[in-house]
A and B are shown apart, each in its own frame.
Chain A
Amino acid sequence: MAVVKVDKLARSVAEGPSLMTGAFPTKDWMEVPAVFKPGNYAYPTKPEKLEYLNSQQGVSFPNAREWNPEDEDWKLPDNWKDIIIQGLAERLDKFRSLKIFMDCCVRCGACADKCHFFLGTGDPKNMPVLRAELLRSVYRENFTLAGKILGKLAGGREMTVGVLKEWFMYAYQCTECRRCSVFCPYGIDTAEITMMLRELLHLLGIGINWAMEPVANSNRTGNHMGLTPQAFKGNVDFLCEDIENLTGVTVNPTFNRKGAEVLFITPSADVFAEPGIFTCMGYLLLFEAIGLDYTWSTYASEGGNFGLFTSNEMMKKLNAKMYAEAERLGVKWILGGECGHMWRVVHQYMDTMNGPADFMDIPKSPITGTVFENAATSKMVHISEFTADLIKHGKVKFDKSRNAHVKATFHDSCNPARAMGLLDEPRYILDHVVDGWVEMPENTIREKTFCCGSGTALNTDEIMEIRMRSGLPRANAVKYVHDKHDVNTLGCVCAIDRATLTTLVDYWVPGVQVAGLSELVGNALVIEGEQRQELDEGLRTLV
């Protein structure tokens, strides 16, 4: 089982004197250690957050401590190696997919140049094949006959502190966007390899705060922000006031109302931070326009599920709260807002973890009568599917001139696109709410869409450079349509996108704003009895 190709992929030779000292590789990739310095790692989890989570039922987050990635000593438990190997053994046994992914890669290299982290850095360990090799080499050494006997000759590698540090560095330079998987002839889901790496690291108390604090907050108060029910409702009420000022339409959403037909769940950033709040105003206006019988929940007040980036048990627990709340309120089905990874969890994992949600009905639009058979087991419909269906049946009226300030393109958010196949509905909506919009180049959209570079809880400011370089492939395509077609708005359907693409285009393509699709819907929506002011910037207009 030679690994010549892997070596080749990662090697280059440079000759002659150079001013660019220190950048040329002189060692085999396995011999290049991970070096942590300010700016190239996200801050570790605060011990109190981990201690809190470890005290919760159904999840385990041991070994909470103060530690610094830049220190040589990571204060690992004495038996750390046993914990890792045992943890890997358990996961190989539990997840057949992991076992297959460990064995079936032929290192063809099809994935190598598809990762936005590799494209932005040129670091070979950001090639999905090599990132997976970081785990696979340890797997070979410990779990395959060839690896046990031949070791390095068979691509095996001893589990050392150095390897562990590499895991931490590169498991957090992957946004689990799954673009590489689209190109893998064997369908290896490299995101699941990253998920396993992160799970194994958590066994030793190694994780990042930007993931774990939202997880802790979600577990405690129901949303990433740690908003209490009162604060959550207060924020939505505040948006309702804005809507009334802008459009003259009074919206009166309800909260925790038993017997509502639909439970609406969206990322909490939509009720809290720009530009998500404009998307939220779009939802509120749409529901008012069609007279939807729905309720918000201040308990299931978060669509995002950072458990996906943490551990399968945590993901299951956070996902369960949405369904527990749906059952408590007795709703018929759930309508989900513009979130990215929530849809991966709902579409690909929910059924196995917490399903089937038999206590609800197969979702049926009360306005059009359409039955969403695609959500027959999850009982959860995407807002874009729902809106597109309303448009198709002529149940909503738009005035495109209200989006005259917008020249849009559409960024397929990774998870809705690749994990649930939501490709045409957003485009159909755009066709109806803006006067004209353009696609980015073919190899950067739909299934091949490039990640924002900040998913999986990497949207933190201490790794801004990493985010900018990994977001370059996306921004580069946006720049192309901005330069060629004067595009000034990047539409998307994901809360992390809304927050992080805003920063990304600010650096790479100034003059482009980021908008959730429902914001553009809200801008153009014509509602009976409204007294809309001249809104030059739609729902963003300051009045």
Chain B
Amino acid sequence: MELTEALQHKQKDIHALWLDRTLNSYVSPGFFKKAKDPFANPVGVNISKALESIFSLLVARAEQSEFSQPLDQIIRIRAVQDFTPAQAVAPLLELKWVIKEIFKKNDKTRDLLSQLDNFDCEIDRVALAGFDIYTECREQLHRCRIRELKSGSHLITDGGCPSRLLDKETALADNKQSDK
């Protein structure tokens, strides 16, 4: 059995284990694993679809640019959840371990374990692209924060009373007060 053929053959098992382990990174993942409605379970279903796409693209030796959409689908979610940067992208690298686990279980595929080096490199490449997306998401998040601050809504809490600030005399008095 050739490697690509084996990966295609085991696609379902690999996806199941990969998804299971990825969702295990959540504190209470039962619902994320179970519910199939994409609107009732956006985390579980989006991650499942993303992993499925990423694996298919890897097997098909797709162009790097094609990975952007599915990588964004999973990483955008994990970039705002309670993970360190490493934890957020870790599932991508875990695929290497997952494939080996599945291949180990079967005589026909066990022989292919030594041929996985190149495929592992492809996975690394995808993981690095995932980290780029993670960083983009975090930067976008900070831009969102800055835009809210600039929109003036922070005046509700951080700037005191806007009317008071607009009044030059009282603003001057406030400044003198704070200088003391």
Show the binding face of A for B, using Cβ within 8 Å. 9-12, 14, 16-25, 32, 40, 112-113, 118-124, 127, 209-210, 213-214, 217, 221, 224-228, 230-231, 269, 272-274, 441, 443-444, 459-461, 464-465, 468-469, 472-473, 476-477, 480, 499, 503, 506-508
Residue of A nearest to B94 (CB): A19
Bound complex: CA A460 to CA B144 (Å): 11
Q: By the criterion CB–CB under 8 Å, are B153 and A472 in contact?
A: no
Show the binding face of B for A, using Cβ within 8 Å. 21-22, 24-32, 35, 37-43, 46, 76-77, 80-83, 86-87, 90-91, 93-94, 97, 101, 137, 140-141, 144-145, 147-149, 151-157, 160-164, 166
Q: List 5 A-B contacts (CB under 8 A).
A: A20-B91, A121-B27, A123-B82, A273-B153, A461-B149
Main secondary structure of the interface of B (DSSP, over half): helix
Bound complex: CA A17 to CA B164 (Å): 59
Q: By the criterion CB–CB under 8 Å, are A468 and B42 in contact?
A: no
With known contacts A214-B156, A468-B141, A503–B24 Cβ distance under 8 A: no
- Residue of B76, B87, B145 near A20 (CB, 8 A) is B87
With a CB–CB cut-off of 8 A, which chain B residues contact A113?
A: 31, 35, 40-41
With a CB–CB cut-off of 8 A, which chain A residues contact B29?
A: 12, 122
Q: By the criterion CB–CB under 8 Å, are A20 and B90 in contact?
A: yes
Determine how close the nearest CB of chain B comes to the CB of A483; give it in whole angstroms.
Answer: 11
With a CB–CB cut-off of 8 A, which chain B residues contact A272?
A: 152
Residue with the highest number of chain B CB atoms closer than 10 Å, among A19, A214, A217 = A19
With a CB–CB cut-off of 8 A, which chain A residues contact B151?
A: 273-274, 499
Q: By the criterion CB–CB under 8 Å, are A112 and B81 in contact?
A: no
With a CB–CB cut-off of 8 A, which chain B residues contact A112?
A: 31
Q: By the criterion CB–CB under 8 Å, are B148 and A461 in contact?
A: yes
Residue of B nearest to A230 (CB): B163
Q: By the criterion CB–CB under 8 Å, are B156 and A472 in contact?
A: no
Bound complex: CA A468 to CA B80 (Å): 7
Q: By the criterion CB–CB under 8 Å, are A273 and B147 in contact?
A: no
Bound complex: CA A24 to CA B137 (Å): 24
Q: By the criterion CB–CB under 8 Å, are B87 and A12 in contact?
A: no
Bound complex: CA A508 to CA B30 (Å): 25
With a CB–CB cut-off of 8 A, which chain A residues contact B145?
A: 461, 464
15 further interface pairs, Cβ-Cβ under 8 Å (given A19-B86, A24-B24, A508-B76):
A14-B21, A16-B97, A18-B90, A24-B25, A112-B31, A119-B40, A119-B41, A225-B162, A226-B161, A228-B163, A272-B152, A461-B149, A464-B80, A472-B43, A480-B39
Bound complex: CA A94 to CA B40 (Å): 37
Q: By the criterion CB–CB under 8 Å, are A210 and B28 in contact?
A: no
With known contacts A213-B156, A231-B166, A503-B148, A122–B141 Cβ distance under 8 A: no
Q: By the criterion CB–CB under 8 Å, are B163 and A473 in contact?
A: no
With known contacts A443-B39, A499-B153, A503-B144, A12–B24 Cβ distance under 8 A: yes
Bound complex: CA A32 to CA B82 (Å): 15
With a CB–CB cut-off of 8 A, which chain A residues contact B137?
A: 507
Q: By the criterion CB–CB under 8 Å, are B39 and A122 in contact?
A: no
Q: By the criterion CB–CB under 8 Å, are B27 and A23 in contact?
A: yes
With a CB–CB cut-off of 8 A, which chain B residues contact A476?
A: 38-39, 42, 46
- Residue of A23, A217, A441 near B83 (CB, 8 A) is A23
Bound complex: CA A469 to CA B155 (Å): 25
With a CB–CB cut-off of 8 A, which chain A residues contact B147?
A: 503, 506
With known contacts A9-B30, A10-B28, A465-B80, A16–B21 Cβ distance under 8 A: yes
Q: By the criterion CB–CB under 8 Å, are B30 and A12 in contact?
A: yes
Q: By the criterion CB–CB under 8 Å, are B155 and A225 in contact?
A: yes
Determine how close the nearest CB of chain A comes to the CB of B134; give it in whole angstroms.
Answer: 13
Q: By the criterion CB–CB under 8 Å, are A217 and B161 in contact?
A: yes
Q: By the criterion CB–CB under 8 Å, are B26 and A21 in contact?
A: no
Residue of B nearest to A473 (CB): B42
Q: By the criterion CB–CB under 8 Å, are A119 and B157 in contact?
A: no
Q: By the criterion CB–CB under 8 Å, are B144 and A464 in contact?
A: yes
Bound complex: CA A231 to CA B163 (Å): 6
- Residue of A23, A225, A465 near B26 (CB, 8 A) is A23
Residue of A nearest to B140 (CB): A507
With a CB–CB cut-off of 8 A, which chain B residues contact A465?
A: 80-82, 141
Q: By the criterion CB–CB under 8 Å, are A22 and B28 in contact?
A: no
With a CB–CB cut-off of 8 A, which chain A residues contact B155?
A: 225
Q: By the criterion CB–CB under 8 Å, are B166 and A441 in contact?
A: no
Q: By the criterion CB–CB under 8 Å, are A9 and B21 in contact?
A: no
With a CB–CB cut-off of 8 A, which chain B residues contact A499?
A: 148, 151, 153
Q: By the criterion CB–CB under 8 Å, are B162 and A472 in contact?
A: no
Residue of B nearest to A109 (CB): B31
Q: By the criterion CB–CB under 8 Å, are A226 and B162 in contact?
A: yes
Bound complex: CA A316 to CA B25 (Å): 44
Determine how close the nearest CB of chain B comes to the CB of A36; give it in whole angstroms.
Answer: 12
Bound complex: CA A24 to CA B101 (Å): 20
Bound complex: CA A464 to CA B46 (Å): 21
